[in-house]
Each structure stands twice: as C-alpha cells, then as structure tokens.
Amino acid sequence: MANKVVIYTTPECVYCKMTKEFFKENNVVYEEKDVSVDDKARDEMVEKSGQLGVPVTDINGKIIVGFDKEKLSEILGIKN
Amino acid sequence: MIYDLIIIGAGPAGAAASVYAGRKKIKTLLLTESFGGQSIVSDNIENWIGIKKISGFELAKILEDHVRAHEEVEIKMPEKAVSVKEVSSGWEVSTYNGGIYQSKTLIVTSGGRRRRLNVPGEDKFDGKGVSYCSTCDAPLFKDKEVAVIGGGNAGLEAVIDLIHYASKIYIINHGSELSGDQSTQEEIRKSPKVVVINNAETQEILGDRFVTAIKYLDKQSNQVKELSVGGIFVEIGSIPNSEFMKGLIEMNKAGEIIVDHRTLATSKPGIFAAGDVTDEIYKQNNISVGDAIAATLSAYNYLLNIKKQSPAYENKNSN
C-alpha cells in the first residue's frame, strides 16, 4: 500500500525544505499544504499535531514534528 | 590511523578550514552534524561577500559542495564531538556515535547555538507557542498578539517577519533601549502594532494547550506584569558550542574559547579555533571564514614544524 504523506509548510522554513528534499531524494510522493495561505490546513495541522510550528508531516495518520530524518526513515522504511 | 588535522563543525568556518586544508593536501577529517551553521535558518543573507542575496539553505549547499570537491578531506556526518583528550600523538576526539579519532592538530569550528530563556514554561510550550524561528512560524500567528524577547537585530528581524501576520507585537527588551540597527528600528516604529517594553526581564511562560501569557519583571517599578499573548519568539543571542572542550583549553566566562587573534591558536599547542565558538567580538559569517583560514594556515605551519623536529626528518636531511 502506498503511503499517504502530507507535509504542512511555510514558504521560508528551511526544515520544511530539507524535509521535502529528503522526500524527493527517496522518491516519496507527498502532498504539500502551505499553512501561510491555507487557513483550513493551518487549523487542521494544529489540531492533529498540537503544534504551532512547521514542518509537521502526517504519514498515514502518524505525526512527525520537525525534520526528524530518523523517524521519517523508520516510518517510511527508508534505509540510509 | 592518525590524521594530520581534525576539523570540528562545518559552518562557514569549518567549511573554509576544510577547503584550505584540502588544497594544502593535509590529511583531514571533518566531523559535523550538518553544513551551513546557524545561518541555515536565515531566509535572506545579504552580506555574504560576492553574492547579493542568498538563503541560508543555499549557502549551506554551496559550502558543502566546495568542501566535497576536496578528496583529502574525509567527512563524517552526522557526527558530533563529545570530548577531546591529549594523547602522545596529539589529540583524541570521541564522538556521539562512539567513534574515536586521533590527530596531530585540531581546529574547533563548532559555532554557537540559540540561547534559551531558561524560565518556567519555556520547554513545556516549545512548539506550542514558543518559537525560535520567526521566518518559519510567523504565518501561524495570524491575528494573534505575540511577544518577541530581545531588542537586538535578531529580535527586530523577528518583529519584521511577524508584522504581516500578528495583530500586536510586544518587544520585551532587557535593556533601557533597543540595540538593533537604527534602520530596522525606524521600520518597525512605523507600525502601530509594535509596542516596545524596555527594562523587562522575562520570568515565566503560561498556558494550557498552547501559550496564553507571559510574565515579566518591570525592572524600573520592580513589579511583575503579565501580558496575554498567543506566541513568544525568543531572540536573545547565542552561546558557544564549547562544552566538549571544557577543562582542556582556556575559555572566558561566556564559554568562548580564547584565541590569539593573529594565529587563532588556543592555549594548547596544536589546537586552533575560529568563528562563533571563540572570543572573536564580531560573530559574522565572513569573519568566521577569514579566521578559519588563518587557523588552517597556522595548523599547516605547526605540522611542518613537527615534521622538522621528528628524528626521521633529521636523519633524512643529514644524509
């Protein structure tokens, strides 16, 4: 089954960029929601994660806060 | 194997040291968590000489590329030095991942990290209203009242990031006036959203699920006051990443490594240091680069001197 990956970002956030780059390097398909313009996505992110900070990644309902390469790799089954 | 040089950290200083070490063909090991240093979170660097405008992220990439162009420099990343001790061949560095590496010389370019407030509530509400990255998180505080702690340049820049989003911005400033650049001060004073509170010391961060208020001491009236805010941006400077060198070399009270500013030598022969981890007054990317280059050339000369003093060298030259 393919992973459903959603990343909540803001345009100038470097850890968001790193996370997206990590996904690209590992051929992970993801949907990006820019919470600086999408208020609905912002509320959804805050509700899901209890966080007021980006990036937040949702992988099949599992929430990862920040660019946590180890945790992302583990959930996505990526070997370094 | 004993390296000629171990470089610890790869911000602008460590990258510069690596490039120069590579060009001098010094057998080098670079230990670092990542490339780019503290500026990596900056969305806009406009004073990197030779480039009008670059993001911290892009700068990190070009530094990494430049270092990787030098085969003599072996890179261990992510890796972090946890302690250093003196051994007969020079220095031995132990790392977070359990590595032990020896070298004849060391260049410490481990930089600094953000200073935290160290008040109750700060850890609990980290990411829940307390933020250390205004460029990242400002958009999440749309129509909210927020506080920025710190009246220096970083604090004022956080205010500028927030002006587009927050409904009101309190600057909680330790000193009797703001210390950031005049031009930035003028810019923020134009906004009716900004309220400057001087002589104020943060005491506590309050909240439930998220931040709801901040308590501070008004040092003039000696009264504790409370402000209702939904966000707190901490911009109170940085502290040096020098803990792993404690007890081995001389530092000042702030934990900065004391260096000879001509040679970048520390109190121990063979150990050099450059950039924000040192007692250099101006914490600037360009200065870190220049100092790290001087440190590398000093390390190179030091290595030449050891070679000259070694018995093998003398035998070779007397025949």
Chain A touched by B231 (CB under 8 Å): yes
> Rounded to a whole number, what is the distance in Å from the CA of A32 to chain B's nearest CA?
15
- When scoring B38, B39, B136 by the number of chain A Cβ atoms within 10 A, the one with the most, hence best to mutate, is B136
Considering only the beta carbons, identify the residue of A39, A50, A54 that sits closest to B136: A54
Can you give the pLDDT at residue B181? 87
List the 147-176 stretch of B: residues with Cβ below 8 A of A.
Answer: none
Contact (CB<8Å) A52/B136: no
- Whether B317 has a pLDDT exceeding 70, the answer reads no
Quickly state the pLDDT bin for B19 (edges 50, 70, 90).
very high
Residue B314 pLDDT > 60, yes or no? no
- Residue B46: predicted pLDDT: 83
Q: Do B131 and A16 touch (CB under 8 A)?
A: no
pLDDT band at B37 (very low <50, low <70, confident <90, very high): very high
CB contact under 8 A, B137 and A52: yes
Residue B319 has pLDDT above 50, yes or no: no
Which residue among B129, B136, B141 places its CB closest to the CB of A12? B136
Interface TM-score (ipTM) > 0.95: no
Q: Do A10 and B137 touch (CB under 8 A)?
A: yes
Q: Which of B56, B136, B140 sits opposite A42 (nearest CB)?
A: B140
The fraction of chain B above a pLDDT of 70, given in percent, is 97
Q: Which residue has the tokens 């001098």?
A: B24
Q: Is B94 helix (H, G, I), strand (E, B) or coil?
A: strand
Say how far apart CA B169 and CA B148 lie, in whole Å: 7
User: Is A5-76 a CATH 3.30.420.40 domain?
Assistant: no
β-pairing, B100-108 vs B200-207, is unpaired
> Where do runs of H (alpha helix) occur along B126-247?
134-137, 153-163, 182-189
Neighbouring CB atoms inside 10 A of B228's CB total 12
Q: Where are the domains of chain A?
A: 5-76
pLDDT at B128 (0 to 100)? 96
- Looking at residue B45, what is its pLDDT? 85
Chain B, nearest residue to A11 by Cα: B136
| Each residue's pLDDT tens digit, B214-249 | 999 999 999 999 999 999 999 998 899 999 999 999
Residue A13 · residue A55 · CB < 8 Å: yes
Average pLDDT of chain A, as a whole number:
92
Closest by CA position to B290, among listed B261, B269, B319: B261
pLDDT band at A39 (very low <50, low <70, confident <90, very high): very high
Average pLDDT over residues B287-304: 98
Coil, helix or strand at residue A32: strand
Sign for the CA dihedral angle at A55, B122, B56, B170 comes to positive
Quick one: closest CA in A to B230, which residue? Answer: A52
Locate B184 and state its tokens. Answer: 């930035």
Percent of chain B with pLDDT over 90: 87
Nearest residue of chain A to residue B40 (CA atoms): A14
**A11-29 residue pLDDT tens:** 988 899 999 999 999 999 9
Which chain A residues are within 8 Å of B43, Cβ to Cβ?
12, 14
Amino acid at B184: T
Contact residues, chain A to chain B, C-beta under 8 Å: 10, 12-18, 35-36, 39, 42, 46, 50-54, 65
Kindly list the distances between the CA atom of residue A32 and the CA atoms of A29, A41, B66, B70, B234, in Å, as whole numbers in the listed order. Answer: 10, 10, 31, 36, 28
The chain-wide mean pLDDT, for chain B, equals 94
Nearest to B159, CA basis, from B124, B122, B192 = B192
Question: What are the tens digits of pLDDT across the range B48-65?
Answer: 999 999 989 999 999 999
Q: B209 and A65 in contact by Cβ < 8 A?
A: no
Task: Determine the distance from the C-alpha atom of residue B235 to the mean position of all C-alpha atoms in its chain, rounded to a whole number.
Answer: 13
| A18:B210 CB<8 A | no
Over residues B103-147, the pLDDT tens digits come to 999 999 999 999 999 999 999 999 999 999 898 899 999 999 999
Residue B92 CA from chain centroid, whole number: 23
Domains of chain B listed by start with CATH number = 2-114+238-318 (3.50.50.60), 130-234 (3.50.50.60)
Residue keyed to tokens 């968590």: B33
State what percent of residues in chain A have pLDDT above 70: 98
Q: Render pLDDT for B177-223 as a digit per residue (tens, 0 to 9).
A: 999 889 989 999 999 999 999 999 999 999 999 999 999 999 999 99
Cβ–Cβ of B209/A50 closer than 8 Å?
yes
CB A13 within 8 A of CB A54: yes
